């Protein structure tokens, strides 16, 4: 129990500590905006200066590429009254060999599937006379954005490795593939999933001012009142890339440090490694492994699977955390299925649930502190007397959507941090915001408006 207690102490997130994290997030955002490379936060200019208003009309396509599969959708927008009059989508798996092939092969595959989808365009979808089809492209990999409809790939993540695409404009690559397929379509907007979620949220609710992804990875975007680089609207959407946030105030343990050292990007994405779905289960596994090695937690021998990285995934951790059966039967069966550990005592299972709770609580509370940092940067952490405007944060991602304990802890922590101001700040789940968001951004940047 001393290993357990020590870990619990290191993960503690007092309200005082969370305020320090929020202050640091705010300071890093300022530094990242002030100069390129001035902070671990990239604070990328998304070149989105027109968010959807609800007046958008016409037929728009979207392509959402963010991992091992991609979605293609089409929406018919009916303006202020009709809104999203009709939408259809299809999801396509990318063959594993294409993830390490050439840029041409990957984009040709995507364009072929897009052509197949366009061919099924039926009733209820129509192009205004004299216009061509337009596309919003959600590309959730690190990109240096050059304009609303162009950007060069900085590096691949999530298992992709196509060297000849790096430093190339992904819109140019996609457009060439569309031409090869004989598709007459203009890419009107290039966005990442966080920006798409913000746009989709804003379309449904005008009070949306920021978007956060809490899934396999994590990121946040918000509306910055632009200074200097002024577009006409005086607003600019900033992609913070907050997963790379680092601060001496973050409660980092020896287990987090070991996880970081063994990762592909050691020293990077520290915030992401403490709060996102890809890593939480593995942190729990690492603590259990130490308890087994040094204190015989699971008996005389250390179950070999306890030493396998990422064998405990966050959905399984969540299932154990949410186990309400009187004898914690779910925990018992998961320990058996995942690690081959049978015959666990009730006491052992109870400790495992507690461990899941410590890791999930730290992640949720730090996420809330990050959100407070963004609210501070926007000047929306306090309200003036008599002001009625709400601030809505659109949140998407599997961790937020499916991990109930995480979600409720995030909400209660934010309320605690904001105090009397909490009534003005609302967290809303934006389901699949990124695909529809890309379509809406293509519509608001259409050449036909």
Tokens standing for residue 286:
């690492």
- 384 labelled catalytic: no
Strands 425-429 and 69-78: unpaired
Sequence-distant (6+) residues with CB within 8 A of 422 are: 414, 415
Sequence-distant (6+) residues with CB within 8 A of 116 are: none
Residue 83: CA count within 13 A, CB half-sphere: 6
Out of 155, 225, 309, 350, the active site residue is 155
Residue 187 bridge partners (DSSP): 135
Sequence-distant (6+) residues with CB within 8 A of 129 are: none
Contact indicator for 18, 365 with CB cutoff of 8 Å: yes
Out of 108, 193, 282, 396, the active site residue is 193
b/e sequence 81-109, b meaning 16+ C-beta within 10 Å: eeeeeebeeeebebeeebbebebeebbbb
- 407 labelled catalytic: no
Backbone φ and ψ for 58, nearest 5 degrees, come out as 110, -175
Out of 140, 276, 367, 444, the active site residue is 140
- 260 labelled catalytic: no
SS3 57: strand
Sequence-distant (6+) residues with CB within 8 A of 441 are: 48, 51, 52, 136, 148, 188, 189, 191, 195, 196, 199
The residues annotated with a catalytic role in the active site are: 140, 155, 193
């Amino acid at each position: 129990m001393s290993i357990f207690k020590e870990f619990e102490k290191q993960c503690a997130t007092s309200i005082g500590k969370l305020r320090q994290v929020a202050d640091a997030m705010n300071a890093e955002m300022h530094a990242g905006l002030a100069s390129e490379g001035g902070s671990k936060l990239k604070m990328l200019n998304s070149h989105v200066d027109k968010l959807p208003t609800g007046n958008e009309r016409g037929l728009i396509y979207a392509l959402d590429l963010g991992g091992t599969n991609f979605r293609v959708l089409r929406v018919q927008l009916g303006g202020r009254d009709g809104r999203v009059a009709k939408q259809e989508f299809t999801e396509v798996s990318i063959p594993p060999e294409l993830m390490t092939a050439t840029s041409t092969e990957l984009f040709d595959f995507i364009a072929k599937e897009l052509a197949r989808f366009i061919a099924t365009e039926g009733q209820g979808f129509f192009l205004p006379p004299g216009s061509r089809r337009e596309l919003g492209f959600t590309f959730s990999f690190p990109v240096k954005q050059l304009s609303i409809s162009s950007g060069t790939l900085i590096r691949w993540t999530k298992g992709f490795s196509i060297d000849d695409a790096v430093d190339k404009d992904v819109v140019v690559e996609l457009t060439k593939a569309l031409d090869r397929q004989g598709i007459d379509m203009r890419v009107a907007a290039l966005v990442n999933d966080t920006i798409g979620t913000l746009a989709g949220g804003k379309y449904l609710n005008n009070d949306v001012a920021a978007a956060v992804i809490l899934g396999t990875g994590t990121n946040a975007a918000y509306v910055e009142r632009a200074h200097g680089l002024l577009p006409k609207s005086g607003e600019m959407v900033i992609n913070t890339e907050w997963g790379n946030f680092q601060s001496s105030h973050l409660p980092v343990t020896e287990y987090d440090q070991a996880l970081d050292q063994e990762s592909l990007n050691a020293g990077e994405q520290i915030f992401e490694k403490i709060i996102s779905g890809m890593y939480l289960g593995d942190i729990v596994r690492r603590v259990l492994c130490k308890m087994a090695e040094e204190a015989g937690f699971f008996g005389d021998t250390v179950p070999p699977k306890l030493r396998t990285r990422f064998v405990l995934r966050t959905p399984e951790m969540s299932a154990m955390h949410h186990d309400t059966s009187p004898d914690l039967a779910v925990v018992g069966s998961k320990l058996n299925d995942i690690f081959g550990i049978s015959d666990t005592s009730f006491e052992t299972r109870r400790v495992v649930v507690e461990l899941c709770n410590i890791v999930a609580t730290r992640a949720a509370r730090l996420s809330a502190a990050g959100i407070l940092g963004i609210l501070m940067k926007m000047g929306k952490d306090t309200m003036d007397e008599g002001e009625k405007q709400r601030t809505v944060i659109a949140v998407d991602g599997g961790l937020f959507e499916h991990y109930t304990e995480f979600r409720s802890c995030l909400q209660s922590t934010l309320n605690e941090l904001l105090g009397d101001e909490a009534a003005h700040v609302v967290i809303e789940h934006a389901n699949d915001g990124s695909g529809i968001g890309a379509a809406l951004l293509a519509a608001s940047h259409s050449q036909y408006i």
